[in-house]
Structure 1
Amino acid sequence: MQDPTSKRLKATLEQWRILQAVVDHGGYSKAAEALNKSQSSLNHAVTKLQHQMGVALLEVKGRKAYLTNAGEVMLRRSRLLTQSAFELEQLADNLCQGWEPEITLYAEIIYPRERLYRALQAFLPQSRGSRIKLLDSVITGTSDAIIKKQADIVITGQLPKGYLGQPLINVHLVPCISPLHPLSQQSTVDVKELMQELQVVIKDTAITPNESLGWLKSEQRLTVSNFHEAVSLVSQGIGFAWFPKHFVASQLKQKQLQMLPLKQGKSRTSMTHLVVPDETRIGPGASTFVNCLLAEHNLESDAFYDSNKEPIA
């Protein structure tokens, strides 16, 4: 395949833009007015374009010019070309203003995803083409993302020592089993009994996990990468697991799962926080996304960051 950079282009973006204007405005006269150019210059540009391409793009019938079949195909492709060029120039302008080409977000898996998705929906029309890298994280892995400044924005359930964050929402974690599990027949379950059972756990995303965090007292463990896998296993009667209550609400309602009747510690609560690991380097794109997340929780944007990139003191 020939390298496209080794061959000189036959036509210019301006010629394609003129062709589009002639078609969109229904002729050379109105297109000339819209582009603030003379009608003869537009006619010359389109004639030259057809000659350069070696393809008839327009055909004249009476006093009007109509697209040929080939012209229709070329016009559609040219719109993609000019739109891409416009977006490229817009990206350059955004970068000059400090707008990030990519925003990295780490989100602890216990955080309700429907809230995150609504914040994303609100942000995308304002994103100016910035790519979003959304990564799930678990416990120590989330803390690492903050400490090692691996992300622009982090939603964490565990604030590392020395860091502050904006509280978002309390997440209630409940121990669950299947109605098929032998423990489901007991009226109460002692923690010592639970320690003898198989626990399904979610793999910590850190390279060096901190096993002092969370409830990991069972000797028998089955480790999976996400809550969806854990729900599938536990609903089949394989072990027990701690789940965010919002995540298993439908399974509990449909009696595919049931909460363990523990004598003590029937649930755990974790407050999720919004953290910007490096406040001195937050860009306008990340700042805008932060404000969308705060709005999702009915928090004022100036409770954390303003929309002009600077962190509030």
Structure 2
Amino acid sequence: MHRPKSTLEQWRILQAVVDYGGYAQAAEQLNKSQSSLNHAVAKLQYQLGIQLLEVRGRKAYLTEQGEVLLRRSRHLTQTVNELEQLASNLEQGWEPSLVIARELVYPMDILTDALAKFLPESRGTRITVVDTVINGTNELIVNNEVDLAICGMPPKGYIAEPLCDLEFYLVCHPQHPLAEVGELEDDHELAQHLQLVIKDTGVNPTQEIGWLKAEQRWTVSNFHEAKVILSKGIGFCWVPRHLVEDEIKTGKLVRLKVKGASTRRIVLTLVVPQRDNQGPACKLLESIILEQHAQSSSELTPYMLVEL
């Protein structure tokens, strides 16, 4: 079995000598004697059979070989520091990873802003974001497969914090036959055209996003795919307002209006499936998401209270 010739302590001392500009300065910072640092570096060089430092005047300088090895040593000591921090976090109950279920319609930029604020306080917690639709979200909640869930109406028996009232627009390409009609008197004319819908991600899907009276339907996985199809002049689709506002402004898509049903709305909520077992990292991220969403509410319709 191979035994290392050097120790982490020797590499940390070498790093300190370089970072603080000499043995005396490093000794003061590390609260060690200068002679002990000299001995540690000299022994390290002897064990490796290579010169790492050369002293000029009162300052120590890295050799070319020393620069290469010092750079690699920093990765090593940083990894050990992170490992020790992780052990401390686990001892305190800090979660090493969190899984978030995001209903596909929830604005990813708002969630990303929240995660960016969480990052400096995360202690290395890994984040997985799972995009879900309708029953797929609720199944993950019921099966306790996620730590946080942003969903529409949550499953029965789960408490949810309302986030926003999200608006959908009915859109199509400007050259689509429906774009020439103006305001539709009812939904019968829609039923004669191809509709694009978003697939439920549940194991046993029972729903798809959108009005479903059209006999012709294409089902896709997300709204980005739907927008690509719409850009080809094919079909119509209900799409969250924030995903199509730019295309509507530039004329790439047009908004259709049906008398008595020009928009659709859904309430999005934040659910903690295992509230009794919620850890400190999850609690922190939950509070940041709520705070970030409140700050970003101008992007969406303001908070509305709902009874669940």
TM-score, normalization: structure 1? Answer: 0.90
Provide Cα deviations, 1:213-237, integer angstroms capped at 9, x if missing partner. 7422222111211111111111221
Q: Distance in 2 between matches of 1:101 and 1:82?
A: 20
The answer for the alignment partner of 1:100 in structure 2 is 95
* Greater RCO, CA 8 A, separation 6+: 2
Q: CA RMSD in A?
A: 1.5
The answer for the alignment partner of 1:310 in structure 2 is none
Using a 3 Å threshold, how does the CA distance of structure 1 residues 31 and 213 change in structure 2: closer, same or farther? closer
Residues 180, 236 of structure 1: 8 Å contact kept? no
1:70 aligns with 2:65: yes
Provide Cα deviations, 1:111-155, integer angstroms capped at 9, x if missing partner. 112211111111111100000001111111111111111100000
**What is the letter of the counterpart of residue 216 of structure 2?**
Q
Number of aligned residue pairs: 294
TM-score, normalization: structure 2? Answer: 0.91
- For residue 290 of structure 2, the aligned residue among 280, 291, 294 is 294
Q: Distance in 1 between matches of 2:65 and 2:237?
A: 62
Residues 171, 237 of structure 2: 8 Å contact kept? yes
Q: Distance in 2 between matches of 1:148 and 1:173?
A: 29
Q: Distance in 1 between matches of 2:199 and 2:47?
A: 60
Residues 273-284 of structure 1 aligned to structure 2 (within 5 Å) = 273-284=269-280
Q: Distance in 2 between matches of 1:212 and 1:33?
A: 67
Give the Å deviation of 1:264.
3.0
- For residue 79 of structure 2, the aligned residue among 76, 84, 90 is 84
Q: Which moved more, 1:96-105 or 1:181-190?
A: 181-190
1:114 aligns with 2:109: yes
Give the Å deviation of 1:22.
1.0
**What is the letter of the counterpart of residue 270 of structure 1?**
I
The answer for the alignment partner of 2:131 in structure 1 is 136
Q: Which moved more, 1:69-78 or 1:215-224?
A: 215-224
Q: Distance in 1 between matches of 2:193 and 2:155?
A: 31
Q: SS at the partner of 2:44?
A: helix
**What is the letter of the counterpart of residue 90 of structure 1?**
Q
Segments of 5+ residues of structure 1 without an aligned counterpart are: 1-5, 300-313
Residues 107, 134 of structure 1: 8 Å contact kept? yes
The answer for the alignment partner of 1:307 in structure 2 is none
Give the Å deviation of 1:203.
1.7
1:224 aligns with 2:220: yes
- Percent identity among equivalent residues? 53
Structure 1 residue runs of 4 or more that deviate by more than 4 Å after TM superposition: none
Q: Distance in 2 between matches of 1:120 and 1:64?
A: 44
Using a 3 Å threshold, how does the CA distance of structure 1 residues 212 and 138 change in structure 2: closer, same or farther? closer
Provide Cα deviations, 1:259-303, integer angstroms capped at 9, x if missing partner. 11212321111111000011111111111100111111338xxxx
Give the Å deviation of 1:212.
7.4
Q: Which moved more, 1:218-227 or 1:274-283?
A: 218-227
**What is the letter of the counterpart of residue 252 of structure 1?**
I
